[in-house]
Amino acid sequence: MESQRVTVDRTAEADCNGCRVCADVCPKGAVSFERNLLTGCDIPIVDEERCVHCGLCVKKCPQENPVRMPERIVGKVYAAWSEDDGVRYMSTSGGMFYELAKKMLDRGGAVAACCYTEDCRGAFHTIAFTEEDMLKQCGSKHVQSQTLHIYGKVGKLLRDGRKVMFVGTPCEVAALYRYLGKDPENLVTVDFICNSITSPKGQEKYIDYLEEEYGSRVISAHIKDKRNGWNNFGNSVKFEDGREYYGDRNHDARTVGYHRGHLFIRESCMYCQYKELPRNADITFGDFWGIREDVRNPKLEMGTSVVIINSEKGQECFQSLEDRIGFYEETMENAMRGNPAILKRADENGNRKKALAALDTMRFDRVVKKYIDRDSLMRKLTRKGRALAGRLMGRRREDGMEGRQ
């Protein structure tokens, strides 16, 4: 059923994924964005004086009109990794982004993907034409990327005959296809197994907390630092004065708040429309969590990627890497065992809005501790309550049996 809306003005956050394609398609430049002060996420605002009510912003919205690309397949699944140990170690998982991007650059193409801002308080999509610029795109960010105008830039490169690899969340890939209205032969799309994205407010307050703690400006951040192994990753941050922070996955406040709490996620992630197979992107990758040790993969703790092929174009791109990577075929069942986010939406945390509001007056680490502990307590009480109810029901059934004897 087609949407009855004419513009995207003040779309509710639950219905807006923040992709910003509405601004890229507006012929009058009437769409801007306003931050929700509570959550820190942006929503679209339409300037009525400029707007001509053409409806393009709604028509091209991947939330209002979900994308289902034709000729997609549930293809082969691989465990894969770069054979270059340096690339594999610096990467979030097995180095597949680097290898795919390097191949695209070697063929004279361009890579559109996400980088941190200079102060690491946010992220934005850039287009890399050199390996030096592409290296800035490597690694997870886990924060909403500023994608304004990226779709138009990619579209121009494609029209000029340039090969382009676009990497983003499933909803950003959908936004690109909505913008283009087709699947150009010189475009390769890659998405990743997305749990959710963090509100910019959460990222900003995390950096504020670390700068207050260390008394120095943050100059770089590394999500999923593997110094203690891939399965025991942590976050590391470097400061202007030369010092470094490192927190493992069980103690770093940002990792705990994101992975265990979903405290700072965008609301629309809880209603994601792209948790399905086959996916829109040509290739999907992520961490191959839960993969078993295998003699073909002796350096497992350096990181291993799961690669899901979704199109013939994706299969051709993957096969072009055979001289650079190690890989073997796996099953979708094994991939999903450690990656339920392939199909499962992010859980809603009842403390999310309280935690986001508390960031205005409390330090980031204290907010996480307060609301993670409270959430853990509620989960324990719920489990105990269910167990007690089960025992009581069991006793009633036993009493009833005795009464009938």
pLDDT score, position 226: 96
Residue span of the structural domain in which 142 resides: 77-198+264-342
Tell me the pLDDT of the chain averaged across its residues.
92
Q: How many residues does the chain have?
A: 405
The tens digit of pLDDT for each residue in 228-249 reads 999 999 999 999 999 999 999 9
The yes-or-no verdict on residue 403 having pLDDT over 70 is no
CATH of the domain at 332: 3.40.640
What is the Cα–Cα distance from 229 to 219, expressed in whole angstroms?
24
Average pLDDT over residues 329-352: 94
- With respect to residue 167, please indicate whether it lies within any of the assigned structural domains: yes
Same domain, yes or no, for 170 and 283?
A: yes
Q: 3-state DSSP call for residue 264?
A: coil
Same domain, yes or no, for 21 and 169?
A: no
Residues whose CB falls within 8 Å of the CB of residue 119, separated by 6 or more in sequence, listed in order: 207, 217, 218
Average pLDDT over residues 353-376: 89
Same domain, yes or no, for 147 and 271?
A: yes
Same domain, yes or no, for 100 and 191?
A: yes
Same domain, yes or no, for 153 and 21?
A: no
pLDDT score, position 5: 77
CATH of the domain at 39: 3.30.70
The tens digit of pLDDT for each residue in 213-225 reads 999 999 999 999 9
Going by their DSSP bridges, the two strands 123-128 and 42-46 should be labelled as: unpaired
The tens digit of pLDDT for each residue in 79-94 reads 999 999 999 999 999 9
pLDDT score, position 387: 53
Last residue in a domain, options 291, 320, 342: 342
Same domain, yes or no, for 144 and 275?
A: yes
Phi and psi at residue 55, in whole multiples of 5°?
Answer: 85, 0
Under 8 Å between Cβ of 197 and 341 = no
pTM of the model: 0.91
Tally of domains in the chain: 2
The tens digit of pLDDT for each residue in 153-195 reads 999 999 999 999 999 999 999 999 999 999 999 999 999 999 9
- With respect to residue 298, please indicate whether it lies within any of the assigned structural domains: yes
| Exposure string for 376-401, b = 16+ CB within 10 A, e = fewer | eeeeeeeeeeeeeeeeeeeeeeeeee
Q: Give residue 120's pLDDT band: very low, low, confident or very high (50, 70, 90).
A: very high
pLDDT score, position 390: 53
The tens digit of pLDDT for each residue in 133-151 reads 999 999 999 999 999 999 9
